[in-house]
Amino acid sequence: MTDIVSIHRKEYELGHGTDDRIIVGEAPGCLHYLGDHGQLKDAIYLSSSIDRTVQVAISPRKDSSLRFFAADAGERKRTTLANLRYKREDRWANYVKTALYLFVEMGCKIHGLNVTILGNIPKHLTLSYNQAIEIASALVLRRFFLSNMGDKELLNRLSAAHSLFYENENKMIDYLCIMNARKNNFLVINEEKLDVKRVKNPFTKYKIMLFDSRVPLIDVESELQLRRKDIEKGFEILSKKRQGFSFKDYTASDLDELMGSLNEEVRRRSLFVVQEIMRIRDVEKALAEKDEDAFARAIFHSHEGLRDMYDVSCPETDWLVKRAQEIQGILGSRLTGRGFGGCTYAIIRTDLVDEYQKKFEDYERIFGFHPVSYEIQPVAAAKVLPQ
């Protein structure tokens, strides 16, 4: 990645003796392998960071202006602390403003700031680009204003600031992944308890590949809201018949026993969530025992659940997963993210990558889209870079 300090200094016409006033934070994107369609704020995930990052450089100004520069897009935004609010047209700058809002609400004496953003996380994919900006910005601002604040407090306050700034509910999962990542480790994350368990990746002969289906993005929020309402309804009925605090307290047999003649869509959505929790537990065991077959089986079954029970897949992503399933030596493939297009991932033995990618010619002929692939690997957590 290009030297962000040089870019920042040039953009804001800072002299070469000002490097000590420029602080840079870096945060990776993240990928969710399992669990990304669970119960709101109480799901379990299998996740990892990815080696695509966002860097945020910040330096103080002498006036009260807030200046923002997205170096990779060549875009500039500006505002003042008095006008620190969400603006639709500010897009990426809003995520820096979220972190600023946190420290303003805490009473920190902030004057003007220069901000530069530079990153290589694909913005159109669900890989936590926005959350990486927030975390990197918050780490830098903590260094400036409240360096004794702990990580847990920072994440809780950042999540609360996000909810206030955007006036909507905010999930902690991506923050937890970005701040707790470790090189070559998967993360098992309990969002409700803010608990993160690191599990070493034992499959060293395999590559983690992302495949962008290139299916045109649509506004899927209304569809996802319907599915969330279905699982809320399912949990409400379950908890009335037998006490439980979340879907983690139930099994598939509980659903069969307790739900009776419940609406079929509610039953299927709820059953998917319960089975996904069990799959994550199975995968954690498979990783500990280096059981490739059990790991692959859980991942493939998860995609089948997304396709047949949660109904967020599409023919293009189903095709990509099916072709992976046909190759002996692929440790699972699945849709990841919001669905209705977007990305699949596959964990592929190194010598089989070319064989799988040869199938893309058929994909393009059938669907008219040319998929784009990314090789990724888990990296270390977000941090402030040495000066």
Backbone angles phi, psi at 183, to 5 degrees: -55, 135
- CA–CA separation, 171 and 105 (whole Å): 20
Residue 241 CB partners (closer than 8 Å, separation 6+): 258
- CA–CA separation, 308 and 58 (whole Å): 47
- CA–CA separation, 300 and 331 (whole Å): 9
Helices (H), the chain: 4-11, 93-105, 129-145, 151-166, 173-180, 221-241, 252-259, 264-289, 292-308, 315-325, 353-357, 360-367
Per-residue b or e along 306-323, where b marks 16 or more CB atoms closer than 10 Å to that residue's CB: bbebbbbbbebbbbbbeb
- CA–CA separation, 344 and 322 (whole Å): 11
Q: 3-class DSSP state for residue 270?
A: helix
Strands 330-336 and 343-349: antiparallel
DSSP 181: -
- Indicate the burial class of 110 (C-beta count within 10 angstroms; 0-12, 13-18, 19 or more): middle
Q: Six-digit token pair at 302?
A: 């998860």
Instruction: Please say whether the beta carbons of 64 and 111 come within 8 A.
Output: yes
CA 25 to mean position of chain CA atoms: 18
Q: Six-digit token pair at 387?
A: 């000066």
The residues that are catalytic are 174
